[in-house]
Chain A
Amino acid sequence: MWWKILLFIAMSAMIVISFMTPAPQKMIGESSRIFYYHIPQAWLGVLAFLMSMVYSIKYLMNRRQADDDSAVNAARLGFVFIVLATVTGSIFAKVTWGSFWNWDPRETSVFILLLIYGAYFALRGALDVEEKRAALGAVYSIFAFVTVPFLIFVVPRMVPSLHPEDSIVNSEMKFSMGPIVRMIFFSSLALFTVLYFWMFNLAQRVQRMVRVQMELED
């Protein structure tokens, strides 16, 4: 219980500080504060996708229903975060680059990620036998994740990018943010990650209760 109160206080403090301190990017100005929220969301979208894939591998190895439930819960949360990252990124793009969508490599990658999640849920919806749904969903999740390295490493080299290369890490692999910006950014990243695991845990417990109820009804 105590850590939930602590999380609440810390997140409130982080949000307040993120608006009270000077804007992180002088050139862009006030709107650059969105970066404290946009990057953690994108990171969680990818992390959830990775977790979903790991649980899918576990399901294929052990065939335990619980692993499939976890994979779905991670994918659902990841979808929410990746939608949020797309929306915040699109607003930020409108402010700084002049249009909502530019087919920048990161935008392409996030779009493909959205499509993969969408296809994953579409596939699960089209299969009615539970074991079949779990196994085929797991295979698709793993197979789709195989393309992610291309999105991160190869596509950005083939398509010109508007995303700043040195916004977080510059070419010498050193952090290029000021100390206050860095503190707010990393606390935001950490707090959102804790929030994500809490949400994941809640989803897991709800799923377990649904399973118990289904067994009682049978």
Chain B
Amino acid sequence: MPNRSAGLANKTLAVYVKDLRLELRTRYALNAILMFGVTTLAVVSFAVGQTGLSPKLLAALYWVIMFFSAMSGLSQGFVREEETGTALALKLTADPTAVYLGKLFFNFSLLSTMTIIITPLFFVFTDAPNDNLAPFVLILILGVIGLCGATTLIAAIIAKAAVKGALFAVLSFPLLLTLLIGLISASQKVFDGQTIMEIGTDLQFLVAYAVIMITGSILLFKFVWQE
């Protein structure tokens, strides 16, 4: 077994590095996701004004921005494989779990980069309380893992379909709504000034969601990939 798992780690890394290199050459997904995030943020901030927003509204706005940005770019990984016809070559050289994990890590890097750029802008634009950052960063990390964990398998599914863009949001939204409820509830408490200990239940929920979605994806991915 150690041999095989070492093989899995290597192959995962190879898929990840390949996608990263491809992305750095074109920066297609990153540009899309980033511009979408900035645009949504600007529209939202422009519409609701700058100061005096309640924690509930701030939390909801933040995750709406995150959700739409994620929807605009996270399907790229698999759609690109299908469109350029490289999916078959990848099928022959790597086993499904390695492909899934590679793409998951790639999506995670993509969304993390976008989050790192968007979040400071969000605090600048909306004047959200920024004295309680440690728990918020924890929520962000769990949120990004949850978003990627749920949408990577959906991206693989819609890459096989005829209408890709619209379908990605349609299929992802019902699964992400549960996560978004948890994320908004947790972020709201953080903007209200609660500590990590006080939002423990919400954090447990976020961890459970991410673990279940990623485990489910690993089990189901080979059925999608073999189609």
Contact = CB atoms under 8 A, between A and B. Distances in A.
Interface of A: 60, 108, 112, 115-116, 118-119, 122-123, 126-128, 131-132, 135-136, 138-140, 142-144, 146-147, 150-151, 154-155, 157-159
Interface stretch (B17-25, B30-38, B44-52, B158-166): B158-166
30 contacts: A115-B174, A118-B170, A119-B170, A119-B173, A119-B174, A123-B158, A126-B158, A126-B161, A126-B163, A127-B162, A132-B160, A132-B227, A135-B224, A135-B227, A136-B157, A139-B223, A140-B154, A140-B157, A143-B216, A147-B175, A147-B178, A150-B208, A150-B209, A151-B178, A154-B182, A155-B181, A158-B182, A158-B185, A158-B201, A158-B205
Contacts of A116: 174-175
A144 B154 CA distance: 10
Given A60-B223, A123-B161, A123-B167, A144 B181 contact: no
Interface string B215-227: 0110010011001
B133 interface: no
Nearest to B205: A154
Interface residues of B, number: 32
Contacts of B117: none
Nearest to A148: B178
A154 B205 CA distance: 8
Interface string B131-172: 000000000000000000000011001101111000100110
B175 A144 contact: yes
B28 to A, nearest CB: 23
Nearest to B162: A126
Contact of B160 (A136, A154, A159): A136
Interface string B196-216: 000001100100110011001
A146 B182 CA distance: 16
B223 A123 contact: no
10 tightest Cβ-Cβ pairs between the two chains A and B: A115-B174, A126-B161, A116-B174, A150-B178, A146-B216, A119-B171, A139-B220, A119-B170, A147-B178, A132-B227
B177 interface: yes
Contacts of B154: 140, 143
B162 A122 contact: no
A131 B227 CA distance: 8
Given A136-B160, A138-B223, A158-B182, A126 B167 contact: yes
Give the dominant DSSP class at A's interface.
helix
Contacts of B157: 123, 136, 139-140
Contacts of B212: 146
B83 to A, nearest CB: 16
Given A115-B173, A143-B216, A127 B161 contact: yes
A128 B158 CA distance: 13
A122 B173 CA distance: 13
A122 B178 CA distance: 20
Contact of B202 (A132, A142, A158): A158
B220 A123 contact: no
Nearest to B182: A158
Interface centre among A128, A154, A159 (most CB of B within 10 A): A154
Contacts of A115: 173-174, 177
Given A135-B227, A139-B224, A150-B178, 5 more contacts: A118-B170, A126-B162, A135-B223, A142-B216, A146-B216
Contacts of A123: 157-158, 161, 167, 170-171
Contact of B213 (A60, A126, A138, A146): A146
